[in-house]
Amino acid sequence: MTSSPITLDGRGSRIEQPEYDALLGEVTQWVQGPGERWSEVIEQTDSVPPALFAELKQHGFLSMAAPVELGGRGLAFTQWMGLMEVFSRSHASIRMLVHVLNGTWRAINPYVTQEQRERFVKPMVAADTLVAFTLTEPGNGTGADLTCTVRREGDVYLLNGRKHLITFGVRCDHWLLFARLEGTTGKDGVVALLVDRHAPGATVEDTSHTMGVHGTDHASLTFVDTPVPVAQRVGDEGEGLAIALGGFLTPSRISVAMSCVGLAERAQELAVEYARTRVTFGKPIAARQAIAFSIAENEADIQAAKQLTLHAAREWERDASEAPALSSMAKMIAVDMLTRVTDKALQVHGGVGYWQTSPIERVYRDARAQRFEEGTNEIQKTVVAREIFARASDGARS
């Protein structure tokens, strides 16, 4: 295994092409075989069995994106996106596990002390601990308007407030939680904390029953004077939003965009297979122009979104200033693409596709969740528009 020198967020890592090709083949084989069998189990039980988590860990699938120095495989971000594309053709909960465990470390690693790196980051990379990203609140947005607060008393912060829609918030070991210092406003008062899942004063409500993405747990959280050691703060006071938005959300939005590509490819694969085998009036429906045109439109849609997503991934990899806006563009375009592709793919199946016995039914349900993950498209459009107008203002002043 070879790896080049790294930055703290892993952007400098890369493995050699033969090694990557072998890894891509291994992932593809698992997704098409054991992954499909596990998907059936998840749908039947509405849960992710511990044995599945253990199998993913055993294969190293939960530790691939991090640098070798942290215990990961040392993939470049663009290489990781190629694997996310394949994992996303599997069950959405499998994709979610792989996505989260291969990404959350990236948010905090540039900001932690060496002691915190040993205590928190390396166990995260090894998949020995699960950390849930905990930003969203029920009464406001997910940025500088946070109302969850902390006040410092000696060596602890006392945490108060609510969070909701927290993926893996029930089964995690820690919440990577963002709150503001009591009495502050704006981004400069936000702190990032690693909060113990079983800390006193924390109440967890399981809100896991969703339309799709069955098996992934979600939580609503309430904190009343929950003590958090100051030693578990990530970065300095006031760096919380930088950790949340730059360290996690920018690469994560690109990853979600690639997840849309992978799931759309699965929908297209199912539609093509059905169109070739379903016969009406003596001909496979693939011979019908209406069906063929839908398949052609889907393919063009998928390829366009994929190339924008790869462009965003390359720009983030080289730390380009345009990467945050590109990540929002990629997610925005890929989500809309997935909506169109899965709708047409279901339509190709006719009424049969509406039944739970048809694989496209699950794909269709799971696709809807991508429109909320890492911010709605309305949020992405706001980010992109802000960047456009800021660039125009800078140009007018120069």
- Structure-token match 């970065």, residue found: 235
Strand 174-181, strand 149-153: pairing = parallel
Active site residue 374: yes
Segments of 207-316 assigned E as strands: 218-229, 233-234, 279-280, 283-284
Find the Cα–Cα–Cα–Cα dihedral 137, 138, 143, 147, rounded to 10°.
-70
Which residues lie closer than 8 Å to 186 by C-beta, 6 or more apart?
144
**Residue 88 to residues 23, 84, 247, 258: CA-CA distances in angstroms?**
16, 6, 22, 8
Q: Confirm if 75 and 64 have CB atoms less than 8 A apart.
A: yes
Catalytic residue among 43, 237, 374, 387: 374
Residue 151 in 3-state DSSP? strand
Residues β-bridged to residue 203:
222
The tokens of 256 are what?
Answer: 């979600």
The identity of residue 133, as a single letter, is: F
Cα radius of gyration (the chain): 22
The tokens of 157 are what?
Answer: 């912060």
Residue 261 in 3-state DSSP? helix
Catalytic residues: 374
